[in-house]
Amino acid sequence: MKIKSAFTLAELIIALTVVATILVIMLPVLRHNTPDEKKVMIKKTYATIEKAVDLMINNDKAYPYEDLGFAYIEPTDESGSENKFCYYLKNSLNSVKGLSCPTNGATAANHRFARTTDGALWDISFSVPDGFSTTTSEHPDDPTITVETPNTGYYTTITIDVNGSRKPNCSFSADCSDPDTYSVLVRYDGKIKIPTTDTYTINVLSNPLKNK
pTM over 0.85: no
Residue 160: band (very low, low, confident or very high) from pLDDT cuts 50, 70, 90 = very high
Residue 112 CB-density burial (10 A; 0-12 exposed, 13-18 middle, 19+ buried): middle
Q: Specify the pLDDT at position 202.
A: 95
User: Is the pLDDT score of 186 beyond 80?
Assistant: yes
Of 80, 89, 83, 84, residue with least CA distance to 103:
83
User: Is the pLDDT score of 168 beyond 80?
Assistant: yes
Measure CA of the first residue to CA of the last residue in the chain; give whole Å: 56
Q: Report how far residue 4's alpha carbon sits from residue 7's, in angstroms, rounded to the nearest whole number.
A: 10
Residue 75: band (very low, low, confident or very high) from pLDDT cuts 50, 70, 90 = low
Q: Are 175 and 156 in contact (CB under 8 A)?
A: no
What's the DSSP call for residue 95?
Answer: B
Q: Are 69 and 189 in contact (CB under 8 A)?
A: yes
Residue 189: band (very low, low, confident or very high) from pLDDT cuts 50, 70, 90 = confident
Vertex 202, ends 68 and 155: CA angle to 5°? 20
Ranking 11-15, 68-72, 136-140 by mean pLDDT, the lowest is 68-72
